[in-house]
Structure 1
């Protein structure tokens, strides 16, 4: 077998649109639509506005769209950065393989670059689909290099590692780099990779995705100009192996019979903006609530003696009294109590007003976590059980093994579109949101991806709409 880095570079270079299966195209289009929706919604967040202020400093030669903004543009590197931050600003983006957020690291970089190069080259929908899937595939394959990567991470945030590499691979594909330069793109990207888990549940965490998009784009562009790195970056423990304790690199399948990971496993798409682990908790708690609340009545808080959530032992998710939206998005306790109190969790659940509700604080005081030894911190096998003990001695219990939205139980096409429309309509007109949905739905037929950028910044011109109607 050839060295792993050389093998990866060769496959990245050699894959073409004919390798994409119908199932991969269908699933990746769902991912693209969802990512655009959560990214548009994320443009309303505080952290997004802060990185906008920072990036405006570099906008003298602006050439790429900032999603949801008609008033200014940025150089592609910073457009990729701020749009990537927007995608992860609410922890609302997809999860896969299982412990990374794959789309936000790749799509903003590709869209920014494709727009910046429109004067020199026109990129089609199939071009975008192929490059996107190369970026997703590389992330999934790299995560198979370590059994440690199968569990909820403890040291490094995966998107900052494999997301950076995936972004570089995707951009290398879009730029049609030769195998030598694909190899260099991976080598350069590895020196940008990594972010500690300590910044989880803080406003800094979204920067991990923004940086992955920006750094991958920058690495591939530098490689295209001849910048060189270690030719065996994926083979060495001192290369990408520096991030994992049990690193075991593997070659990719041959091009003749290539098998995509996205063909084998769907992606998890979230119904509400919080850490994926909270979605099991929310479904279990919502089921328990049905035993406690009849009709339009409210939850009998005073009648509850104790709430127990049986969850895996994930230290950064044990937040008994979260005081910010970012802490609440990473709190098993908050998810349990909010679902019990309201019956569901939504974007509005994480407002300061809802987080500080006296009723919620009262429930949080009664909540405790337990960690059964069989409940492992892996998105593939974890479960959640919620038990509510009443003052009269009655106990109600429900368990969730697979929440709705998990790759084993994916969102329906209708619910995915409802989520996108709900998110995008907070920023764009109904016509622009509809234009994005139509464009993504027909992406393999789109001749010029600039139509997507036009809608993303809010344009609804008759000319753009005419392009959509021509599908």
Structure 2
């Protein structure tokens, strides 16, 4: 009888999905997501917040251990490896974004990679096993978000990865652990009690912990369910369950397993070209276009004393309205900062958020001339928002441009070569070239990999020479 509930239905689908359900498009899109997430996670290992949580997590020891990405010198128990690597993925707000809004990969991939290393030697996890678990985790997040119209807009109360990401991580790990339907329900119930983080911590060092905790808590929920821990069997059905996070929560059963219609098949993700809140990417493209019109020669921008004001027409999103950001985290969540940086430099990059660039006098001068406007037709949804940048000169002339779809958005996805360039740029200096190339080759051939521990070998910084010959497929 319990299978007729939404929670029971989810458990049945999580349990019943297998690799034959994966389509070529889902596999190809998820490979892109995996490669991008590994790159931004490896880059994030160099951040202060990642260093702090790594040091904190070192106090734990266990017979089981998993790789900390970019580190050959120490390992951690799986839940803490998932935590540290999850924090690394979101430490610069450089990870992928979906619609309805969440960061889907960072909550799931660190958990399934860490868990795959913890299996006994007799049970190897294949690349196809990893792909399936990853996609189950992505699917559960997407379905939960579609239970709420409120979730289709940029969030106001809870940071989505801390809510649906925790549930997706639990579902992915439940799949990898081969939990039965009853255990899957318990994993979801346990995860729901771990879920949730307020948006008030956006633009602080705490925000990356939301993704790290989602990965950690989802893995922990699945492991606790395997141990027999029990929770509410209708956690997805009840208003006091998952409904607690959304005022208009309306749960529905999932499609039948026959020719299962993956949401990732229907809706690609946005992959970022620079590390900042997704809404700022519209601003960057519009501002860069305006700059090209302002440039008087190949190198010189119109002098700042000739700029009277800068108007940004953007949706009303309070936590990305930061007129004078004081830190890299605030700058990543500032329409104003990204617009002014793009106007000054012509483009955005990782270096845009370095302290010397955040506090440069020219930027501060331009910020003082920048104002936001919120047109009523510009709704706060990643699927429909736009940005218009207007620069009015002292002589009265106005230069304007509008961006409705930036390069990297799901409607305008990155080309393969640009995705690889982003990955290589992120990993440069973190891993040796051989390990970097090994990750790319492994991810592109993941469905053929017999033992996905090869991926962890490369993530730790080792080369193909460290692999047993039977694992070298390239």
What TM-score, normalized by structure 2, do the two folds share? 0.98
> 1:451–1:467: 8 Å Cα contact kept in structure 2?
no
1:217-228 pair list within 5 angstroms = 217-228=219-230
**Unaligned runs of at least 5 residues, structure 1:** none
> 2:304–2:366: 8 Å Cα contact kept in structure 1?
yes
Query: Which of 353, 358, 369 in structure 2 is aligned with 1:355?
Result: 358
Q: Aligned to 1:308, what secondary structure does the other structure show?
A: strand
Shift of 1:311: 0.2
Q: CA 1:353 to 1:62, structure 2 compared with 1: closer, same or farther past 3 Å?
A: farther
> Which residue is equivalent to 2:65?
63
Deviations 1:212-256 (A, max 9, x none): 000000000000111000000000000000000001001100001
Deviations 1:167-186 (A, max 9, x none): 00000000111111111100
> Which residue is equivalent to 2:133?
131
Structure 1 residue 72 and structure 2 residue 74: aligned?
yes
> 1:432–1:455: 8 Å Cα contact kept in structure 2?
yes
Deviations 1:79-133 (A, max 9, x none): 0000000000000000002310000000000000101114241000000000000
Query: Which of 143, 146, 159 in structure 2 is aligned with 1:144?
Result: 146
Q: CA 1:16 to 1:304, structure 2 compared with 1: closer, same or farther past 3 Å?
A: same
Distance in 2 (CA, whole Å) between partners of 1:120 and 1:197 is 43
> 2:10–2:253: 8 Å Cα contact kept in structure 1?
yes
Distance in 2 (CA, whole Å) between partners of 1:120 and 1:144 is 39
Structure 1 residue 286 and structure 2 residue 327: aligned?
no
Shift of 1:328: 0.0
Q: Aligned to 1:256, what secondary structure does the other structure show?
A: coil
Shift of 1:460: 1.0
Q: Aligned to 2:388, what secondary structure does the other structure show?
A: strand
Q: Aligned to 1:246, what secondary structure does the other structure show?
A: coil
Distance in 2 (CA, whole Å) between partners of 1:59 and 1:38 is 27
Query: Which of 332, 336, 348 in structure 1 is aligned with 2:335?
Result: 332
Q: Aligned to 1:386, what secondary structure does the other structure show?
A: strand
> Which residue is equivalent to 2:91?
89
1:261-340 pair list within 5 angstroms = 261-293=263-295, 294-340=297-343
> 2:291–2:301: 8 Å Cα contact kept in structure 1?
no
Distance in 1 (CA, whole Å) between partners of 2:467 and 2:377 is 54
> Structure 1: which 4+ aligned runs deviate by more than 2 Å?
59-62, 463-471
1:176-255 pair list within 5 angstroms = 176-255=178-257
1:105-184 pair list within 5 angstroms = 105-184=107-186
Query: Which of 33, 36, 61 in structure 1 is aligned with 2:35?
Result: 33
Distance in 2 (CA, whole Å) between partners of 1:299 and 1:177 is 63
Distance in 2 (CA, whole Å) between partners of 1:28 and 1:326 is 28
> 1:138–1:165: 8 Å Cα contact kept in structure 2?
yes
> 2:78–2:114: 8 Å Cα contact kept in structure 1?
yes
Shift of 1:61: 3.9
> Which residue is equivalent to 2:413?
410
**Unaligned runs of at least 5 residues, structure 2:** none
> 2:70–2:430: 8 Å Cα contact kept in structure 1?
yes
Deviations 1:29-76 (A, max 9, x none): 000000000000000000000001100111354511100001110000
Distance in 1 (CA, whole Å) between partners of 2:400 and 2:346 is 15
Q: Aligned to 1:53, what secondary structure does the other structure show?
A: helix
Shift of 1:469: 5.3
Shift of 1:461: 4.4
Distance in 1 (CA, whole Å) between partners of 2:411 and 2:120 is 39
Q: CA 1:118 to 1:451, structure 2 compared with 1: closer, same or farther past 3 Å?
A: farther
Query: Which of 340, 344, 348 in structure 1 is aligned with 2:347?
Result: 344
> 1:299–1:341: 8 Å Cα contact kept in structure 2?
no
Distance in 1 (CA, whole Å) between partners of 2:59 and 2:221 is 21
Distance in 2 (CA, whole Å) between partners of 1:305 and 1:298 is 14
Q: Aligned to 1:191, what secondary structure does the other structure show?
A: helix
Shift of 1:426: 2.7
Shift of 1:459: 0.5
Q: Aligned to 1:39, what secondary structure does the other structure show?
A: helix
Q: CA 1:139 to 1:126, structure 2 compared with 1: closer, same or farther past 3 Å?
A: same
Query: Which of 366, 370, 373 in structure 2 is aligned with 1:367?
Result: 370
Shift of 1:297: 1.6
Q: Aligned to 1:448, what secondary structure does the other structure show?
A: coil
> Which residue is equivalent to 2:454?
451
Query: Which of 376, 381, 386 in structure 1 is aligned with 2:379?
Result: 376
Distance in 1 (CA, whole Å) between partners of 2:64 and 2:182 is 30
Aligned positions, number:
471
Shift of 1:470: 2.2
